[in-house]
């Protein structure tokens, strides 16, 4: 399940771009390499990953502080990939994450939320502050939105099977979804972003169903 985040609300999506996005994540979640332990049920509830260490990285937030998965040991990490200039699917993901925090109630503090930039052309601190404030992410507990030099971002995308395809100076497509990393630092689940689809469970519903099992 892939969500396509576009910089404009209406755009023609070339078949080759869809293939690139699909292939990147499919390769990452391939059973032989990722330890896939369950097939997709009739109603999508996320893709379990056999526990393995989350690839580490060091990227920087708008305050100049560096963060990576290892900084959240002891909490459950909800990690997603966002374009701070996106105005369609990425804001929907932000809304779904807010619903998750609301649904977790008092347990929300047991989770941390990390957004990784998918747009190497948008790396200014104000890009991240504006996006986080506009779509409520700055109200999430332990929220961090991080970026870095293009080479560093591309390495993180490769490590997590994320594709980011620039179609023009103003149009970007990228793989959308959420990874859950358990308190020990192991990848446990990938949930696509059906919030942008016409049918199926919303991303918040999937996470509220699956996330409590991985909380400390």
Closest CA to 84 of 137, 131, 134, 144: 131
Establish if 69 belongs to a structural domain.
no
Please give the residue range of the domain that contains residue 151: 3-56+75-214
**What is residue 215's predicted lDDT score, i.e. its pLDDT?**
97
For residue 11, name the pLDDT band (cuts at 50, 70, 90). Answer: very low
The pLDDT of 2-28, averaged and rounded, is: 37
The pLDDT of 92-116, averaged and rounded, is: 95
**What is residue 167's predicted lDDT score, i.e. its pLDDT?**
65
* Tokens matching residue 197: 């689809």
3-state secondary structure at position 177 = strand
Tell me, what CATH number does 109's domain have? 3.40.30.10
For residue 207, name the pLDDT band (cuts at 50, 70, 90). Answer: very high
Establish if 65 belongs to a structural domain.
no
**What is residue 174's predicted lDDT score, i.e. its pLDDT?**
79
Establish if 192 belongs to a structural domain.
yes
Mean pLDDT of the chain: 81
**What is residue 166's predicted lDDT score, i.e. its pLDDT?**
74
Give the rounded percent of residues in the chain with a pLDDT score beyond 70.
75
How far from chain centre, in Å, is Cα 126?
20
Give pLDDT tens digits for 108-167.
Answer: 999 999 999 999 999 999 999 999 999 999 999 899 999 999 999 999 999 999 988 876
pLDDT for residue 98 is more than 60: yes
Establish if 70 belongs to a structural domain.
no
Give pLDDT tens digits for 30-73.
Answer: 433 344 444 445 578 889 999 999 999 999 999 999 999 999 99
Between 52-61, 153-162, 178-187, 195-204, the lowest mean confidence (pLDDT) is in: 195-204
169 versus 12: the higher-pLDDT residue is 169
Give pLDDT tens digits for 15-25.
Answer: 334 343 444 45
What does residue 71 show for φ and ψ, rounded to 5 degrees? -75, -10
Domain count, the chain: 1
| Whole-number Å distance between alpha carbons of 67 and 61 | 7
Establish if 15 belongs to a structural domain.
yes
**What is residue 78's predicted lDDT score, i.e. its pLDDT?**
98
pTM: 0.80
Neighbours of 102 (CB within 10 A): 11
Establish if 124 belongs to a structural domain.
yes
Establish if 13 belongs to a structural domain.
yes
For residue 186, name the pLDDT band (cuts at 50, 70, 90). Answer: very high
Establish if 149 belongs to a structural domain.
yes
């Amino acid at each position: 399940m892939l969500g396509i985040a576009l910089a404009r609300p209406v755009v023609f999506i070339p078949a080759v771009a869809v293939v690139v996005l699909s292939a990147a994540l499919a390769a990452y979640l391939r059973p032989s390499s990722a330890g896939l332990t369950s097939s997709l049920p009739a109603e999508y509830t996320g893709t379990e990953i056999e526990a393995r260490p989350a690839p580490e990285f060091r990227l920087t937030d708008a305050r100049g502080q560096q963060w990576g998965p290892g900084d959240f040991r002891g909490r459950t990490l909800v990690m997603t990939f966002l374009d701070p200039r996106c105005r369609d699917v990425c804001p929907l993901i932000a809304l779904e994450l807010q619903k998750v925090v609301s649904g977790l109630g008092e347990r929300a503090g047991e989770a941390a939320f990390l957004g990784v930039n998918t747009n190497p052309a948008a790396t200014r601190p104000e890009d991240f502050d504006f996006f986080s404030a506009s779509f409520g992410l700055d109200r999430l507990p332990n929220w961090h939105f991080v970026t870095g030099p293009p080479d560093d971002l591309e390495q993180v995308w490769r490590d997590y099977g994320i594709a980011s395809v620039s179609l023009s100076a103003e149009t970007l497509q990228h793989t959308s979804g959420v990874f859950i990393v358990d308190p020990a630092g192991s990848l446990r689940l990938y949930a696509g972003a059906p919030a942008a689809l016409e049918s199926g469970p919303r991303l918040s519903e999937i996470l509220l169903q699956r996330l409590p099992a991985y909380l400390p």
